């Protein structure tokens, strides 16, 4: 019996579902940390080495175990587009390669999450756990974007627009650096993930008691540069609408709105001494801002290939 084929529209829907689940697992993972439930299940892969596989005691155990259970749903959502890519018609090898990264990323995340528990929420592994989630979002968003557009369907920019395109592309490394600085600040702060269960978790203290304040200010400076770049690009498009298309304008508008909200929440949580609820909102906005950055970079498009200079004095064969 032949398996049914998958239409481009249905494949795109599966890619969107995978992206949604991969974003959701980031938000629930942050909830585990800010509720102090990171060691609610102190062992891995079982919740308790000498007890049942599942959570058996306390709210914090169920919060952590619930996040682990969600990983299975995320895994299924990640496998779906990979399996569907082989039956998509017309078949596209690029979608197969991109979609393969999603289940591989989920498996890597599960193993890294287990290592994080085994190492008692060591700050470096917690940082790596979050940063890997952010990296997987790149593959998931790229899959959605490429599923929406057939190869060659979007026109390329002329070489004269290179400065604009590269300015848009600069949002990606700057956004990634901002997120890295944010995870570093979190690794020095009070929300280590073990407070709810009474576990003492190591924090980064390379500058002693000033480490948290230093990390927060570095994160704030980098985020300010990102915000200024996004606002500058948005204003440029307002003045020269012919330089970009509707997708670029929408992406930059959403990004600027999210970064503005992010700045308000960031300053508020600093002044209020990092309440858990605002920390969760801050990280949630960070994840959405990262998706908006990817959208803006993708919408910037590609440049026309450079023209090869004509060779003078070429010999004509006899």
Query: What topology is assigned to 160-195+202-304 in CATH?
Result: 1.20.120
Phi/psi at 148 (nearest 5 deg)? -75, -25
Tell me which residue has tokens 């306390």.
Answer: 58
Percentage of residues in the chain with pLDDT exceeding 90? 64
Q: Are 299 and 247 in contact (CB under 8 A)?
A: yes
Omega within 30 of 0 (cis) for the link into 46? no
Q: Residue 55: is its pLDDT beyond 90?
A: no
State the Cα–Cα distance between residues 141 and 86, nearest whole angstrom. Answer: 19
Residue burial 7-43, b: 16+ Cβ < 10 Å; e: rest: eeeebbbbbbbbbebbbebbeebbbbbbbbbbbbbbe
Give the CA count within 13 Å in the CB-facing half-sphere of 20. Answer: 8
Tell me which residue has tokens 């930059």.
Answer: 252
| Closest by Cα among 195, 198, 29 to 125 | 29
Q: Residue 57: is its pLDDT beyond 70?
A: no
The mean pLDDT of 257-272, rounded to a whole number, is: 94
State the Cα–Cα distance between residues 16 and 18, nearest whole angstrom. Answer: 5
Three-class secondary structure assignment of 133-169: HHHHHHHHHHHHHHHHCCCCCCCCECHHHHHHHHHHH
- When the pLDDT of each residue in the chain is averaged and rounded to a whole number, the result is 89
Percentage of residues in the chain with pLDDT exceeding 70? 93
* 227: its two tokens: 């915000």
**DSSP-based three-state secondary structure for 121:** coil
State the Cα–Cα distance between residues 124 and 52, nearest whole angstrom. Answer: 29
* 107: its two tokens: 């498996």
Read off the pLDDT band of 317 (50, 70, 90): very low
For 115-141, what is each residue's pLDDT tens digit?
Answer: 999 999 999 999 999 999 999 999 999
Q: Residue 24: is its pLDDT beyond 80?
A: yes
- Domain spans, the chain: 1-149, 160-195+202-304
**DSSP-based three-state secondary structure for 40:** coil
State the Cα–Cα distance between residues 12 and 6, nearest whole angstrom. Answer: 10
For 207-255, what is each residue's pLDDT tens digit?
Answer: 888 999 999 999 999 999 999 999 999 999 888 877 778 889 999 999 9
Give the CA count within 13 Å in the CB-facing half-sphere of 170. Answer: 14
| pLDDT for residue 51 | 64
Looking at the whole model, is its pTM more than 0.85?
A: yes
Give the CA count within 13 Å in the CB-facing half-sphere of 8. Answer: 10
């Amino acid at each position: 019996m032949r398996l049914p084929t998958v239409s481009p529209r249905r494949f795109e829907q599966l890619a969107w579902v995978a992206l949604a689940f991969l974003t959701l697992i980031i938000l629930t993972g942050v909830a585990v940390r800010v509720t102090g439930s990171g060691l609610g299940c102190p062992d891995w892969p079982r919740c308790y080495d000498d007890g049942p596989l599942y959570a058996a005691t306390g709210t914090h155990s169920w919060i952590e175990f619930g996040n682990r259970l969600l990983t299975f749903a995320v895994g299924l959502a990640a496998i779906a587009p990979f399996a569907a890519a082989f039956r998509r018609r017309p078949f596209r090898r690029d979608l197969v390669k991109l979609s393969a990264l999603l289940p591989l990323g989920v498996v890597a995340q599960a193993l890294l999450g287990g290592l994080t528990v085994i190492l008692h929420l060591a700050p470096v592994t917690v940082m790596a756990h979050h940063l890997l989630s952010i990296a997987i979002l790149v593959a998931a968003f790229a899959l959605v974007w490429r599923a929406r557009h057939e190869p060659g369907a979007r026109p390329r920019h002329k070489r004269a627009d290179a400065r604009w395109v590269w300015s848009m592309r600069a949002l990606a490394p700057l956004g990634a650096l901002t997120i890295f600085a944010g995870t570093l600040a979190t690794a020095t702060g009070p929300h280590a993930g073990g407070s709810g269960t009474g576990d003492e978790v190591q924090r980064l203290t390379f500058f002693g008691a000033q480490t948290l304040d230093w990390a927060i200010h570095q994160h704030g400076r980098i985020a300010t540069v990102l915000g200024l770049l996004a606002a500058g690009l948005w204003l440029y498009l307002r003045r020269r609408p012919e330089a970009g298309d509707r997708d670029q304008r929408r992406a930059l508008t959403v990004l600027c709105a999210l970064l503005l909200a992010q700045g308000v929440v960031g300053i508020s949580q600093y002044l209020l001494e990092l309440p858990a609820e605002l920390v969760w909102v801050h990280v949630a906005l960070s994840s959405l801002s990262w998706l908006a950055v990817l959208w803006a970079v993708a919408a910037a498009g590609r440049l026309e290939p450079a023209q090869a200079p004509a060779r003078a004095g070429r010999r004509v064969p006899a």
